[in-house]
Amino acid sequence: MEKLYEFMENQLDLTTSQFVRYKYEAIHWDNRMLGLVGPRGVGKTTLFLQHIKQHHSLRDTLYVTADHLYFSSHSLFETAETFNKNGGKFFFIDEVHKYDNWSQELKLMYDAFPDLHVYFTGSSILDIEKGEADLSRRAPKYLMQGLSFREFLAIRHQIKCPVFSLEQILNHEARIPNVKHPLVYFKEYLKEGYYPFGQDLDFETELNQVITRTIEVDIPQFANMNIGTAKKLKKLMVILAALVPYKPNMASLAGQIQASRNNIEDYLVYMEKAGLIAQLRDGTGGLGELGKVEKIYLDNTNLMNSLGDGEEDTGTIRETFFYNQMRVNQKVTSSSLSDFDIKGMTFEVGGKSKGKRQIADAKEGYVVKDDIEYGYGNVVPLWAFGLNY
């Protein structure tokens, strides 16, 4: 196991703790077992390593990645057993979905080693959900999304800003300390701010790799797709990127990718959970149920910039940002009057010349405007909604 400890120390040396993601404080680290899941590239590995550096001793802690060569001849359970017998207390497993039968072995660890804390990440929420039957009631699951505009300011520009609630944003209390002109930063965020690796010189290449791996590896593995079906999934992604916001027409999509109409809805759900698209539903879904899909967006504006042809629709970018940022802490549904509904409040998203006609009949309506620095009355700047997590 010396190789594993060496790998862990190398990873810790490369990790900084200057800023931690929004999900960190929400995680109950005292749980005997927990999972941190989310789309590829949003910073799950870094969050685990930061926690180890800040709160654990290397004497009783082990961090591994499930695709390490070590596990070609050793099992996760065997490693946990040896680690526990030698006084180990905290076992961190990164990218656990890359290990066959991971859920069964995690269940065995939980039952066999009551004094061992096991934490795991999964780049694909699809595989984590597939294994939940074996981990029910044992491992709470925390879902982490990409950077908010607020987090982007802190990580990329060292501008610290508090979290503002939706109520505070609507009351015009949201401010970025010592920043008079937020739009310069906001435009940068829309292009390359959602992913923590956005400042890399090869960001576009890396993001394309994330998209490709998700489509060609994660989803096909989960859904037991063959190569031909995976190619159809890739074609579907290209079609949606050109059409968003798209009012779903399953028969049309099925014809374009030459697939069964009955499969299209499943494909869209897979893509949504993998962090590639976002489906805006109406409010008809009851407790634990999803409403009817009214529109399909790409998941975030960075994906739009990467998959677009350089002529992305500005209105779609605005709506994508609003939905992407607000869904983290709010239930966002479609509005029969305008663009979005949150808790009975109606939101119309547009540019600085956007009027109030669409919300005239709303009980409580707001116009969300891009290209303005500050709001007034029921007019709120779009960038402010990026400070809610």
Note the pLDDT tens digit of each residue in 280-318. 999 887 555 678 999 999 999 999 999 987 778 999 999
Nearest one of 184, 200, 183 to 192, comparing CA atoms: 200
Give the model's pLDDT for residue 98: 87
Count of positions (residues) in the chain: 389
Q: pLDDT at position 22, please?
A: 97
Tokens of 68: 């390490």
pLDDT, position 311 = 77
| Contact assessment for residue 158 and residue 177, using Cβ atoms and an 8 Å cutoff | no
DSSP assignment of 36-58, as one string?
EE-STTSSHHHHHHHHHHHH--T
Contact between residue 121 and residue 63 where contact means Cβ atoms under 8 Å apart: no
In the numeric block, the tokens 């008079």 are attached to 180
| pLDDT attached to residue 224 | 81
Asked if 334 contacts 293 with a C-beta cutoff of 8 angstroms, the reply is no
Give every residue of the chain whose pLDDT is below 50, as ranges: none
Q: What is the pLDDT of residue 289?
A: 63
User: How high is the pLDDT of residue 288?
Assistant: 57
Quick one: pLDDT at residue 291? 85
The pLDDT, as a whole number, for residue 284 is 83
Q: How far is CA 41 from the centre of its chain?
A: 9
CA–CA distance, 86 with 70 (Å, rounded to integer): 19
